[in-house]
Amino acid sequence: MGGKHGSFAVLLCAAAVLLAAAPAESEIGVNWGTRSLHKMSPATVVDLVRGNGIRKVKLFEADPDVLAALMGSGIEVMVGIPNEMLATVASSPSSADLWVSQNLTRYMVKGGVDIKYVAVGNEPFLASYSGQYQSDVLPAMTNIQQSLVKRNLAGTIKLVVPCNADAYESPSLPSQGAFRPELTQIMTQLVSFLNSIGSPFIVNIYPFLSLYGNSDFPQDYAFFEGTTHQVVDGPNIYYNAFDGNFDTLVSALSRIGYAQMPIVIGEVGWPTEGALSANLTAARAFNQGLVNRVLRNQGTPLRPGVPPMDVYLFSLLDEDGKSILPGNFERHWGIFSFDGQAKYRLDLGNGLLKNAKEVNYLPSRWCIVKPDRDLSAADNHFRTACSFADCTTLDNGGSCNGIGPKVNISYAFNSYYQLQKQNPRSCDFDGLGMVTFLDPSIGECRFLVGVSDAKSSGSRSQSRWVIAIMMTFGYFWLSFMTYGFF
């Protein structure tokens, strides 16, 4: 009997070693940005994330309302230190202590927030920043790490630095990948630091931007369905831009001595508007193709069978408050619209996306141009409305492009009216605007109704029948006043 028990123990040990050696399965997370002009309550967004079986979110800052909503959710969280704060944290250990105290320890209580990563900056080595944040990254990481050690959190929370893919380059082939010459030294120091604390390298990869920025880029190479423009790199063949970009990073890491460095994809996705190649069909094809690969634990030619540790889709929601300097598409990366409605059929491994529940919409009414008014003086009002509200869907590549000048103005008026929480005065426009209870949406061009950032309450649900009656009377009145018939 003793011999049998000994053999069984050996088998158990061998099994444990095999399990430890096996790569952990990748998971799909999401980036939750908050630069929206129409914000749902954070509690509603957390419900949306949980309802879709998403277990990881990446935040770009430590928003107290968002972190409060994540308390007890069981969702793994990455919080960010914005680039603008790096100099302060880098210059003062006490500032790092204060940041950790205010943004980490206060939420890491029993039943609190499961904070796994702190992102020190966001793409701080981006070439367009011209080195503005470069010297602050490592000192900031050092100070934050020391603060974590003092609070016994260093084993729980890992520091990372999300990098844009422009941190490395390849003359032609993935195997020739290397970090930009001016970054080689600091990247070697950074990766050494990350390796010493058991953190992965985080990279943001965007095949869409490669397609958008290069008219010669083969479109099918941006997706995962195969291509006639494959890249042959010695014994390896690349059939999509994602694999090629990923392995360029693997080569760059190998050149500085870290060939096995774990990699996480911090951002990847496809927008639905704002460019000719940005549409619902393309976004669904790219994201579903990516998700299917992740769920199959499919690696790349340089890392076969070893996929990225995790992949965070960009992004959860559209953000109509973002800068459009890179392009109108910047406001349309969400797999959900601003109000948590799925934009297309996408299965993250838990069934098709489910819409947000209990969204606290403003009443169903819109601001449009009065049918009988001369619009010669409307241009200034149009420009004013669009300087505050988001009108990017009206431009080339947008879902409302081509709906006609008069409807364009109505769209702008309504966008501003909803942004102003349907204040009646915000629909005046020197007498050109009017409120309607008839949805003026046309085809795929959706005239939005704003949302409140307070979570819906039962009392509002109970009063919906009152709103419905008011809307019915409003419909008949408006039809009569506008068209002369019901």
Look over the chain and give the mean of its residue pLDDT values, rounded to a whole number. 89
Fold of 27-336: TIM Barrel (3.20.20)
Q: Which residue would you say has higher pLDDT here, 214 or 411?
A: 411
Q: Which residue would you say has higher pLDDT here, 22 or 381?
A: 381
Please report which helix (H) or strand (E) contains residue 236, including its range.
Answer: strand 236-238
- Termini Cα distance of the chain: 91
Instruction: Give the pLDDT mean for 156-171.
Output: 95
Asked whether residue 277 carries a pLDDT value surpassing 80, the answer given is: yes
Specify the pLDDT at position 171: 80
Spatial CA neighbour of 59 closest among 160, 166, 141, 129: 160
Strand runs labelled E in 406-455? 433-436
pLDDT in tens, 41-68: 999 999 999 999 999 999 999 999 999 9
Active-site residues, by number, are 123, 267
Instruction: Give the pLDDT mean for 215-223.
Output: 94
Range from 293-307, 373-387, 411-425 that averages highest in pLDDT: 411-425
pLDDT in tens, 121-140: 999 999 999 999 999 999 99
Specify the pLDDT at position 377: 84
Asked whether residue 409 carries a pLDDT value surpassing 80, the answer given is: yes
Query: Any idea which of 303-317, 335-349, 411-425, 468-482 has the lowest mean pLDDT?
Result: 468-482
As a whole-number percent, the residues of the chain with pLDDT over 70 amount to 88
Specify the pLDDT at position 170: 85
Q: Is there a contact between 170 and 251 (Cβ–Cβ < 8 Å)?
A: yes
Range from 141-150, 375-384, 444-453 that averages highest in pLDDT: 141-150
Instruction: Give the pLDDT mean for 470-485.
Output: 38
Specify the pLDDT at position 2: 46
The Cα 163–Cα 194 span in angstroms is 13
Q: Which residue would you say has higher pLDDT here, 445 or 474?
A: 445
Q: How confident is the model at residue 23 (pLDDT cuts 50, 70, 90)?
A: low
Specify the pLDDT at position 455: 63
Helix (H, G, I), strand (E, B) or coil at 18: helix
pLDDT in tens, 100-118: 999 999 999 999 999 999 9
The Cα 47–Cα 56 span in angstroms is 13
Asked whether residue 474 carries a pLDDT value surpassing 60, the answer given is: no
Asked whether residue 19 carries a pLDDT value surpassing 70, the answer given is: no
Specify the pLDDT at position 284: 98
Specify the pLDDT at position 373: 85
Specify the pLDDT at position 467: 36
Q: Where are the domains of the chain?
A: 27-336, 366-436
Give per-residue burial for 254-273: e unless 16+ CB within 10 Å, then b: bbbebeebbbbbbbbbbbbb
Helix axes 405-419, 378-388, angle to 10 degrees: 40
Specify the pLDDT at position 17: 36
Cα-based distances in Å from 41 to 24, 59, 74: 34, 15, 18
Name beta bridge partners: 115: 77
Q: What is the pTM (predicted TM-score) of this model?
A: 0.89
Radius of gyration over alpha carbons of the chain, in Å? 26
Spatial CA neighbour of 223 closest among 237, 235, 211, 236: 211
Place of tokens 């419905």: 468
Specify the pLDDT at position 483: 35
Asked whether residue 481 carries a pLDDT value surpassing 80, the answer given is: no
Instruction: Give the pLDDT mean for 306-311.
Output: 93
Instruction: Give the pLDDT mean for 159-182.
Output: 95
Asked whether residue 459 carries a pLDDT value surpassing 50, the answer given is: no
